[in-house]
């Protein structure tokens, strides 16, 4: 009987280890320095889903970096907020993504709509928002739940 208990405990520890390796906390100091109104663990979830924390990630549509920022969106954010972040730089990319997500959250007053818009763009057709946007929202919510379980004490 004791061997089974030890086996279960070992299995749980291995599972937690693999989850922490799959859902790491990265660039947390940068996130904390730039976020105002959004849970840093949600930003971790966005970075995980968008690029798996790879700064060199480039989407087929041209979105770049950890937060998958389009060059035109980076220019708009910098102009709108009077900032000068470089979307090719890791910290700049994260800062731009956070600023944009906070802007969308304020605009829509709804986290789900803000996240869908972050992924599809604010002017995407409704069918795109309903299909691709909802798939993205599901991924973010799943990652966010895992991040909260692993790191919220």
Positions annotated as catalytic residues are 50
What is the secondary structure of the chain as a DSSP string? -HHHHHHHHHHHHHHHHHHHHHS---SHHHHHHH-SSS-HHHHHHHHHHHHTT-TT-B-TT--BTTTTB-HHHHHHHHHHHT----TTSHHHHHHHHHHHHHHHHHHHS-HHHHHHHHHH-TT--HHHIIIIIHHHHHHHHHHHHHHHHHH--
Angle between helices 134-151 and 2-22 (to 10 degrees): 120
């Amino acid at each position: 009987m004791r061997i089974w208990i030890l086996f279960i405990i070992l299995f749980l520890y291995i599972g937690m280890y693999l989850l922490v390796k799959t859902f790491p906390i990265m660039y947390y100091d940068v996130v904390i320095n730039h976020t105002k109104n959004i849970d840093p663990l949600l930003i971790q979830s966005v970075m995980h889903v968008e690029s798996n924390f790879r700064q060199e990630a480039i989407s087929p549509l041209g979105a770049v970096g950890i937060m998958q920022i389009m060059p035109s969106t980076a220019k708009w954010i910098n102009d709108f907020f009077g900032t000068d972040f470089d979307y090719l730089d890791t910290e700049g990319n994260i800062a731009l993504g956070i600023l944009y997500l906070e802007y969308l959250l304020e605009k829509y007053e709804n986290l789900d709509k803000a996240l869908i818009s972050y992924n599809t763009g604010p002017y995407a057709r409704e069918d795109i928002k309903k299909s691709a946007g909802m798939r993205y929202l599901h991924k973010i919510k799943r990652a966010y739940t895992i991040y909260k379980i692993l790191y919220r004490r």
